[in-house]
Structure 1
Amino acid sequence: MIKVVEFKSRNFWSSGVDVTKLNEKIKEYEASGWNIQQISPLTTFTGKVSAYVLVLEKDLGYHHQPVQ
């Protein structure tokens, strides 16, 4: 199963993303059996990082056969 999550938690003193909270959230996902496939920053028009998108994958123990 694939899951896409947007993370945009900010700390009190800054409009930037709270990277400490992001790292904590990543650890929570990994502890729940999710594998981080990709992390991408989302930026504003001026180039400031406003959020991150995480692509997660979890093996549910079965595999789909490709459609022929």
Structure 2
Amino acid sequence: MFEARLPQGRIVKLIVEAMKDLISEGNIDCTKSGLALQSMDGSHVSLVSLLLRAEGFEHYRCDRNI
């Protein structure tokens, strides 16, 4: 089971908007410690690394790694 709630859901939208011109795809890993994303840009020059820790969510539950 995975559940996550941010006090301000707009934050996720702002994060995605900030990354959209740099990367076209990425995998989000859901673990007990939070959400993580790593992705290279198309020319393999830039690395995007994002970690949203579980403590930063109003509610966060991840029973197994996804």
The TM-score, its normalising length taken from structure 1, stands at: 0.39
Bigger Rg over Cα: 1
The structure with the greater share of residues assigned to strand is: 2
